[in-house]
Amino acid sequence: MDLPTTKDRILDAAERLFGDRGFADTSLRTITAEAGANLAAVNYYFQSKDALIQAVFARRLGPLNQERMDMLDACEARAGDGPLLIEDVLRAFLEPAFKVGHERASTFGRLLGRMYIDPGDIFERIFREQFGATKVRFLGAFRRALPELPPEEMFWRMHFLIGALAHTMAGLHHLKVTSEGLCDASNPETVLKRLIPFLAAGFRAPVPQGDTPCDAN
Amino acid sequence: MDLPTTKDRILDAAERLFGDRGFADTSLRTITAEAGANLAAVNYYFQSKDALIQAVFARRLGPLNQERMDMLDACEARAGDGPLLIEDVLRAFLEPAFKVGHERASTFGRLLGRMYIDPGDIFERIFREQFGATKVRFLGAFRRALPELPPEEMFWRMHFLIGALAHTMAGLHHLKVTSEGLCDASNPETVLKRLIPFLAAGFRAPVPQGDTPCDAN
DNA sequence: GTCTATAACCTGATAGAC
DNA sequence: GTCTATCAGGTTATAGAC
């Protein structure tokens, strides 16, 4: 077995430190020091700090979103012409995220959660490049699972879903402190078993008044 | 009517810029330039950048959490010995946040959303100092509204609630883009009318298996 | 590929004139 | 209270030796 390359060690260190402290607060010096690499190495392998940030995300987001699609494929194959269960769609979207968070000792989990909130043009681009196809596929699946939901309401509920996901992944430590150790998230399945029913019930909630339903015309 | 003081102009500029770009990415020079003040003024009125960040939060969070408590008081007075409706507890927690976000042209809204995610010891302290009493009061109210919910599950669901709130406030622009302009949140009541039913249904969802209910002994 | 050295710049903070 | 000037230190990025 080969030792990890310098490039990989830099990516690993960056992933952990960005997740811990944020992007602006993590210097290339800190990253290369933790990676046991030279400061100049980060400019040799990547061109700039921004490019390093992009590389950190690209390494995980490609496989992550592929797994989401695969799970959704399996869901739809199983459903055939029958109804699509909202719980299954939610699991296809959430489980790969929590699994990669857990595998990487939750380092990438914090990072993924932070991506949705942190500012900067980089993230707008990362989002467009990495999530475009995923967004379209899941939007369709959510609509198929809940056809009576008006499009506007669907976007809102997906927005709430993203919020619960991002904060749950980024703030698990926060939860442990607040609950005085009662809540433990060392196993991704523990989180999913609670998050999926919560969100499924939210998605199934009656549509608030004043909205035009999909099939009103 | 008096013009805003230099101190207030600095606070206003800091509030806006911190919300837009984050804390580490906003320099004191940028803040004082936007405020039309001198760089040294920020160290004259506040002692340090950290102290300025704290002041920005303290100016709004005190009144915000007081209003939450007041609304909860009114809820509980109305309920008397009867049941407490989860929708009312949620509104007491959410409405003041969205109202302050809207009044301030959503500048403080983005900032408030970011607070939950951004790193650093400052925020842990802000959270402890500003939210301690609020957390205790609302935990009690949520328990009274849903007494059958096990404590662990309650913490999880409050965690999901915070996530939906934070991301909804911080990422409203994101939602507008994703929905291609379909979703508009210029009015706080519009958001609440969608968020409260979604979350209420989530809180009322059946408890997942394997949990010990409150009244199991 | 990996290093040292350094350029060019930005940061928060402060001293001291007015 | 408000300004200029500056300090001391950090940052990214790069040039060039090995």
**pLDDT tens digits, one per residue of A130-177:** 999 999 999 999 999 999 999 999 999 999 999 999 889 888 888 988
Chain B positions in Cβ-Cβ contact with residue A22 (cut-off 8 Å): 22, 24, 118-120
Closest CB from A22, A113, A204 relative to B201: A204
d(CA A174, CA A180): 10
Q: Identify the CA nearest to B110 among candidates B201, B64, B173.
A: B173
Nucleotides of strand D within 7 Å of the protein's CB atoms: 1-6, 10-16
Quote the Cα angle for A181-A186-A190, to 5°. 95
Tell me whether B176 touches chain A (CB under 8 Å).
Answer: no
pLDDT band of B214, cuts 50, 70, 90:
very low
Which of B159, B179, B184, B199 to mutate to test binding with chain A, by most A CBs within 10 Å of its CB? Answer: B159
pLDDT band of B174, cuts 50, 70, 90:
confident
Instruction: Point out the residues of chain A with pLDDT beneath 50.
Output: 212-217
> Pick the residue with more confidence: B10 or B187?
B10
A17 touches strand D (CB under 7 A): no
CA of A118: which chain B residue's CA is closest? B22
The answer on pLDDT for B215 being more than 50 is no
DSSP A105-148: TTHHHHHHHHHTT--SHHHHHHHHHHHHHHHHHHHHHHHHH-TT
> Pick the residue with more confidence: B43 or A187?
B43
d(CA A31, CA A52): 11
What's the pLDDT at A123? 76
What is the CA A184 to C1' D14 distance in angstroms?
47
Strand runs labelled E in chain A:
none
Q: Identify the CA nearest to B76 among candidates B122, B5, B140.
A: B140
What's the pLDDT at A108? 87
A 134-173 → B contacts, CB under 8 A: 135, 151-153, 155-160, 162-168, 170-171
pLDDT tens-digit readout, B71-100: 999 999 999 999 999 999 999 999 999 999
- Judged by CB atoms closer than 8 Å, whether chains meet at B167 and A171 is answered as no
